[in-house]
Structure 1
Amino acid sequence: MPPSARRVPPAAARPGGRAVLRRLGSWCARHSLVVIVLWIVALAGIQAANKSVGGTYSDDFSLPGTQAQQGKDVLQAHEPAAAGTSSQVVLHDAGQLTGFQPQIAQAVSSLQQLPHVLSAQNPLPPPGQSAPPGGPLSADGLTGYITVRFDTAPALLGTGYLAGVDAAVAPLRQAGVQVEYGGPLGELARPAPDDRASEVIGFAVAVVVLLVGFGSAVAAGLPLVTALFAAVVGLGVLGLVAALSTFATVAPTLATMIGIGVGIDYALFLLTRHRQNLMDGVDPVASAGQAVATSGRAVLVSGCTVIIALSGLSVSGISFIAKLGAAAAVTVVSAVLGALTLLPALMGLIGPRMDRVAVRRPVAEAAGGGEGGWDRYARRVEEHPWRYLVAGVVVLVVLSVPLLSIQLGHIGDGADSTDFTDRRAYDLMSQAFGPGSNGPLTVVVDQGAVPAGARAGLQSSLQQALAGTPGVASATALQASPDGVVLFDTVIPVGAPQERATTDLVNHLSDTVLPDAAAGSGAKTYLTGNTAAQVDFLDIVSSRLVLIIAVVVGLAFLIILAVFRGLLVAVKAAVLNLLSIAASYGVVVAVFQWGWGGPALGVAGKVPIESYVPMMMFAIVFGLSMDYEIFLLSRVHEFWLRTGHSRDAVAHALGITARVISCAALIMVSVFAAFIVSDNVVIKMMGLGLAVSVLVDATVVRLLLVPAVMTLLGPAAWWTPRFLDRVLPHIDTEGRGGMP
């Protein structure tokens, strides 16, 4: 289609929507004090409500239909005391623990009397008897553990519950015994996540970048104030929602990370437009309205794209993951609202005094068509597009190589800091009983349909099968429930819970060993427990990751196609984003799984990639990458519609967007990278992965691949089949209907 046929904006893209946004921006700027007061009242009210009725966060979740959940339900129905959530209270002393028998007995009795405790097992044998091998007392008698079973996940009981646990074991600590909490109880005992250091680091870097980019302290402060207000409001709303539904413990940190990052980006895009208007002599109120009508429209489209990408996580069918996406979406919504309302109000309040506190001379946005550095660079790309394309692809492929060996799994307590009691408990258990003791498996056998005369043979067959399975360190004798319907025992793997060998053992036991041992008897076998549930979770995530990728890529493809009316542009965006994300996956695998720098980041040893991290990273990165994609391509598209010169359009777009995109990307990278100092290994992974992805997207993709590909495609980039052009909605990102 010739350019001249595309210059008239379609009716759906004409200024109707722009007029609404213009009026919104102008009204907020004109009534700045009213808007600012409303935001302050909203922030205070939401935070007060959150403190009084807000919910808590926990990693307790169920997987209906999985073998681990079915086994837990069967055991719960016939032997509730054995079906509860188990945790270990680990005891260690330089002398024999048998010398503390009165204190241990008192602690066990006190634990049994706590609310929600189903049972507590004394690790010491009765007086006069020796400890059985494989029991809760180590062979040297220096380490033991009290197994406490709860009728609910300890994470749901709140940190106040720990006071009772501490009081119960106080006699042991007073006697000099080291007491540590393992498993879910240890996770409850962790201090509340404190991300203030990450936030301070991210904000400090953002201040420096904005000061350098804008040259004005006032202009640099506006994006930070807007993003902070929006993030705090969003987190308050998330806390209120958490009172109605359970969100993961990483949800608020993830929401903070995304909310601050996009909040600064969105405010930066609008402020750049507003500041240029002021330099051109436009009235501050009118300028704010124009900025919201143009760049604000791009922010609205970008925000919706991020939210759509996060919504794609619901395809997983796992509420735990879907809610993580929803948590991040809450702060994205607040970031968009802050950029479209609070920022214009601050612009109106400051008026023409934007550059009063200047650290250097303000720089106007390039108008394009000159011979600036970015124009000259773009010309070089035009002259040798294949050279730049191959160079960019090679860089991304090299970074992606570690992805070929990715090992998904669950990060165990052994990777945490020794400042945490669950890590110290993990180490004591590993040294005394082997690493597999930290991830016991529970075998459940429903023998209700087995004739009474055949049950002894079934029990013997199961016991022999478990004892002869490679990878099993020990298996306790099968016990029967009071009604005799269910058999159950505990299996200790040789390897640690996070090792691939343990995952393979779980699958081998549940799919082959147990069914074969019970074949022909009519019994149903299950493998349950925390470790088995994690393996089931991994299997579900792995099986649905491809579907989520397809859904998110498809949605992003349709959005780009609808915005720019270019089939090949949409294909290019999808392919390049996939390469960018693969590169960030590769870096995460190299650092954490291969151990290339993991210890320097505070991670103990090599760890697998947390099963849901690739899924979360994909949705977040794909959504965020659309920010720069839309911002850059909208300028390329605008210039092409106006002039018909596709090659010059790339140089023009780079010239006028390079500074703002570079500042935005550097800030986003800094915000994400700052979360690497978090105590949570999953947050470290997310922070590093997102930082690398944005860095790659803003450098390799934007500087090498996009200019090269757009040059090679030429006018064909904007071709759309007629039938698609008729059915696709018209979305005008800059509110100009494609006109200058």
Structure 2
Amino acid sequence: MRAARWSAEHPWRAILAWIAFVAFAVGLAVAIPTNNTTDADYRVGESGRADAMVHDADLVQADTENVLITARSGSLESSAAESAAEDVVAAAGEADHVAEVGDPQWNADRSALLVPIELAGDTDEVDDLQRAVDGVAAEHDGLDIRQAGDVSLDAAINERVGDDLSAAETTSVPVTLVLMLIAFGALVAAGIPVLLAASSVAATIGLMAPLSHLIPSDDTTASMIVLIGMAVGVDYSLFYLKREREERAKGHRTLDAVEIAAQTSGHSILVSGGAVIAAMAGLFLVADPTFNSLAIGSILVVAVAVLGSITVLPALLVKLGRWSDRPRVPLLWRLNRRVGQGGISRRLLGPVVRHPLVALVLASGVIVGLAIPALGMKTHSGTLDTLPTSVPAVQTVKDISKSFPADEGASATVVVRGDAGEGAQVQAALERLSSDAVDTGHFVASGRGVQTSDDGTTSLLVLGMPYDETDERVDDALRELRGELVPAALGDLADAPGIEHAVGGGAAASLDFADKQSGRLGLVIGFVLVLTMLIMVTTFRSVALAGISTVLNLASVGAAFGVLTLVFQHGWFSGSLDFTSPGFVIDWIPLFVLVVLIGLSMDYHVFVLSRVREHVQHGLPTRLAVQRGIADTAGVVTSAAAVMVSVFAIFATLSMLEMKMLGVGLSAAILLDATLIRLVILPAVLVLLGDHVWWPWRPSRPRGEPVVEREPAYAVSAR
């Protein structure tokens, strides 16, 4: 109230202060370089120790690009393939940023020929090499000559991600503006939420630059800031604007209407923002650099959006006055006036209030049915199968991994560090390990042999695996390698003082990450639910209401996880969404969907319950307060949910499977939460419990407020 009153009485100061704040924050991003996460930040467990030893010994393998030569049709003719390989070797040797071109290698059945090309230093430039390979390919019509490797694959994926996010951001703003125009029927009112949300996002991205030197920033953080910032920024403005408009329609002056909106919707915004921040703070429990970065970015953008909603928004509304309802879009304006405040929702709420038990059973049945598939959810880190096959480099790497599993397939790196004098024993042990591992059938020799550092203290052996990255046998093979094969090959060396060994590599890092995160999802769920429950108890002074909120949040999360499982693990609607099911859900998606969903759904929950409590405080019986409160807020909640669902649904149309999962999970979850949960289950539970819902403290009536002795006319007509 104090913040809103000051802003309303000094509107220009508030507006200029907000502009100065946003400009200052954006200036920080220009003046201070962002500190991004590095590979070392992601080291976990034994694979992390192996990676650190490799880097300390300067045994990091130079980036390698591979040129795959296969037949366009039929069998591959040896002479033609070898002639093409010679041309590739010659052309690649003259390309920029190439250190060495290896000898061509045949696969086991001689259906493919591979030319390995080692790049110079830490270069990420392969354009000249790609042109050279394309030139050779043009001269050999009967052959399929393709290039791929970590550098070219990363470049292609980064370009695709950039294009996807740019398209999503470009589309989300006009979509949001159109939905706000439908909600308000006036251009200025529609533009205010979008403007506030966009300025909050810009300020947050600027503030993240200095903060990144405390918590390194992940590449995905900026996109998540846009996603969360636009969602909560529009929500908070919508809550405030709708209430201010409602009070002006009752005859209040603009200044009085703004103060009433601050006292009601403004208070709800503060509580909602606290709930979202509490939910996002749960990400810190994962103890992962990506989640730490996402947590700080999300918390900051929510805090900035709340600040804007209780300062600059009241100032804008006072300065604009009734001009916020101009220029009107005639058709939309008349439609809004005709439908009225909660006109549609009152008709939908009638059957729920009359038959609450039936409504509760039917709606709960749908939610439980959607949640059941989540019990069989499988998670895995992103693999080649989760990358879009429309990227040529992705398909090429897949083909290389099938024909040459030791080069592009799942692999393990065994690292041993000790005294230089024991180097010969270590090398002999690793050679013995290579033979023993291959004999198990779970590993294949990479052809690189044992590599030793210049000082002779560190040796490593790379073993390939003839399995796809998502094959369950990869984890079994790694556990066998760590628990049996390596100790047996090293013998007494394994326990010798000064000797350290570890098994690393991409597959081992994925296994270690999964083991580390095992149980973290339950920990985060518990933390978030307990914290939000405490917020509800503090805000509404009702243990029963806090318990209801917790159960509804769990229901929303369960339904969201079930939808993710059905769509991406079992492949439902894969044709419509244009993807091929990998048979699992990418491991970080459920956790992120969980905290975002609980945070955003609490926005609606607090807003709705605050209005219900307001009516109870004014003397209405709980049953009527529920009907009126939800009817009054349903239009706002529906508008806010429509914005979120539309923005998240845009992500479901992108080519990257991670973005699809995020978009489908959040859009489906918000849709279910704003409809079945908030318009059916919540009112049904509140009506069934009656006054017990406020236990142990019933909301007190403000001093001077008359008690409503009888049902108002709208309640009688609705019933």
Coarse TM-score class (shorter-chain normalised): 0.7 to 0.9
Q: Aligned runs of 1:122-271 on 2, under 5 Å?
A: 122-124=101-103, 131=105, 139-140=110-111, 142-148=113-119, 162=124, 164-167=125-128, 170-176=131-137, 180-183=147-150, 186-189=153-156, 190-191=158-159, 193-194=162-163, 195-239=165-209, 241-242=211-212, 245-271=215-241
Mapped partners of 2:70, 2:466: distance in 1: 25
Gaps of at least 5 residues in structure 2 are 72-79, 139-144, 707-719
1:411 equivalent in structure 2: 382
Q: Which residue of 2 aligns with 1:50?
A: 29
Q: In the superposition, relative to structure 1, how do residues 558 and 171 fare at CA in structure 2: closer, same or farther (>3 Å)?
A: same
Choose which of 674, 679, 683 in structure 2 pairs with 1:703. 679
Show CA shifts across 1:543-595 (max 9, x none).
Answer: 32211111111101111111111112111111111111111111112222222
- The answer (yes or no) to whether the contact 2:370–2:559 under 8 Å persists in 1 is yes
User: d(CA) in 2 for partners of 1:364 and 1:57?
Assistant: 52
C-alpha distance in structure 2 between counterparts of 1:150 and 1:68, whole Å: 24
What is the Cα deviation at residue 472 of structure 1? 2.8
Runs of 4+ in 1 over 6 A off after TM superposition: 109-113, 364-368, 449-454, 735-740
Cα deviation code 1:676-705 (max 9, x no counterpart): 233432222112111111111111111221
Alignment partner for residue 314 of structure 2, among 318, 334, 344?
Answer: 344
Counterparts of 1:185-584 in structure 2, within 5 Å, are 186-189=153-156, 190-191=158-159, 193-194=162-163, 195-239=165-209, 241-242=211-212, 245-358=215-328, 359=330, 360-361=333-334, 362-363=336-337, 374-375=345-346, 377-420=348-391, 422-434=393-405, 437-446=408-417, 458-459=429-430, 461-476=432-447, 478-482=449-453, 483-518=455-490, 520-522=492-494, 524-584=500-560
Counterpart-to-counterpart distance in 2, 1:685 and 1:170: 35
Show the counterpart of 1:616: 592
Q: Aligned ranges for residues 29-44 of structure 1 at < 5 Å?
A: 30-31=11-12, 34-44=13-23
Report the TM-score, using the length of structure 2 for normalisation.
0.85
3-state SS of paired residue (2:494):
coil
**Judging changes above 3 Å, is the alpha-carbon distance between structure 1 residues 601 and 515 closer, same or farther for their aligned structure 2 residues?**
farther
Q: What amino acid does structure 2 have at the position aligned with 1:193?
A: G
Q: Mark the CA change 1:140 to 1:132 in structure 2 (over 3 Å): closer, same or farther.
A: closer
Q: Please, which of 610, 614, 633 is the counterpart of residue 657 of structure 1?
A: 633
Of 614-623 and 336-345, more deviation after overlay is shown by 336-345
1:673 and 2:640 matched: no
Tell me the SS of whatever aligns to 2:662: helix
Distance 1:182 1:451, change over 3 A: closer
C-alpha separation between the residues in 2 aligned to 1:512 and 1:711? 62
Shift of 1:168: 5.3
Return the alpha-carbon distance in structure 2 between the equivalents of residues 435 and 564 of structure 1: 61
- Give me the whole-angstrom Cα distance separating, in 2, the residues matched to 1:398 and 1:165: 51
Alpha-carbon separation, structure 1, partners of 2:192 and 2:488: 67
CA distance in 2 between partners of 1:106 and 1:277 (Å): 75
CA RMSD of the aligned region, Å?
3.6
Render the CA deviation track for 1:491-511: whole Å, top value 9, x for unaligned. 222222244443443344334
C-alpha spacing 1:182/1:456, structure 2 compared with 1 (3 Å): closer
* Separation (CA, whole Å) in 2 of partners of 1:667 and 1:320: 27
Q: Does 1:71 align with 2:50?
A: yes
CA contact (8 A) 1:104 1:172 kept: no
Q: Give the CA deviation at 1:227.
A: 1.6
Cα distance in 1 for residues equivalent to 2:137 and 2:431: 44
Paired amino acid for 1:496: D
| Residue in 2 that maps onto 1:14 | none
What code does the residue aligned with 1:21 have?
A
How far the C-alpha of 1:436 sits from its partner, in A, is 7.9
Amino acid at match of 2:81: Q
2:461 aligns to what SS in structure 1? strand
Q: Which amino acid aligns with 1:123?
A: G
CA distance in 1, matches of 2:23, 2:283: 31
1:93–1:176 CA contact under 8 A, matched in 2: no
Q: How does 1:46-125 map to 2 (within 5 A)?
A: 46-47=25-26, 49-51=28-30, 53-55=32-34, 60=39, 62-64=41-43, 66-78=45-57, 80-81=58-59, 83-84=60-61, 86-92=63-69, 95-96=80-81, 99-101=84-86, 104=89, 107=92, 122-124=101-103
Deviations 1:9-44 (A, max 9, x none): xxxxxxxxx3x133234145x32xx54455445545
State the Cα distance separating 1:102 from its structure 2 match.
6.9
Cross-structure match for 2:6: 24
Measured after TM superposition, the shift of residue 99 of structure 1 is: 4.2
CA–CA distance in 1 between the matches of 2:86 and 2:36? 37
Equivalent position of 1:684 in the other structure: 660
* Secondary structure, counterpart of 2:126 in structure 1: helix
Residue 12 of structure 1 aligns with which residue?
none
Counterpart CA distance in 2 for 1:307 and 1:541 is 22
- Partners in 2 of 1:375 and 1:531 — Cα distance? 55
C-alpha distance in 2, partners of 1:575/1:325? 24
Residues 193-226 of structure 1, C-alpha deviation per residue, up to 9 Å, x if partnerless?
A: 1424323433343334333322223222221222
Q: How big is each residue's C-alpha offset from its partner over 1:365-391, in whole Å with a ceiling of 9 and x where there is no partner?
A: 9789xxx66446545334433322221
Deviations 1:71-94 (A, max 9, x none): 12223334x13x357554445476
Q: How does 1:640-651 map to 2 (within 5 A)?
A: 640-643=616-619, 645-651=621-627
User: What is the SS of the residue equivalent to 1:491?
Assistant: strand
**Paired residue type of 1:287:** A
SS of the residue corresponding to residue 496 of structure 1 reads: coil
In structure 2, how many angstroms separate the alpha carbons of the residues matched to 1:354 and 1:648?
A: 32
1:478 Cα deviation from its structure 2 partner: 4.7
| CA displacement at 1:412 relative to structure 2 | 1.7
Contact preservation (8 Å) 1:450, 1:522? no
1:421-466 Cα distance to aligned partner (Å, 9 max, x none): 5414423423532598243321223465997896577345522431
Provide closer, same or farther for how the CA distance between residues 112 and 737 of structure 1 changes in structure 2, counting only shifts above 3 A.
farther
Count of residue correspondences: 680
Asked if the contact 2:568–2:584 (Cα under 8 Å) also holds between the matched residues in 1, the reply is yes
Q: Secondary structure at the match of 2:251?
A: coil
Amino acid aligned to 2:235: D
Distance 1:307 1:109, change over 3 A: farther
Structure 1: which 5+ runs fail to align? 1-17, 114-119, 126-130, 152-160
Task: Report deviation, 1:298.
Answer: 1.3
Deviations 1:92-136 (A, max 9, x none): 4765355454763674686777xxxxxx563316xxxxx4767xx
Contact 1:409 1:610 in 2 (8 A): yes
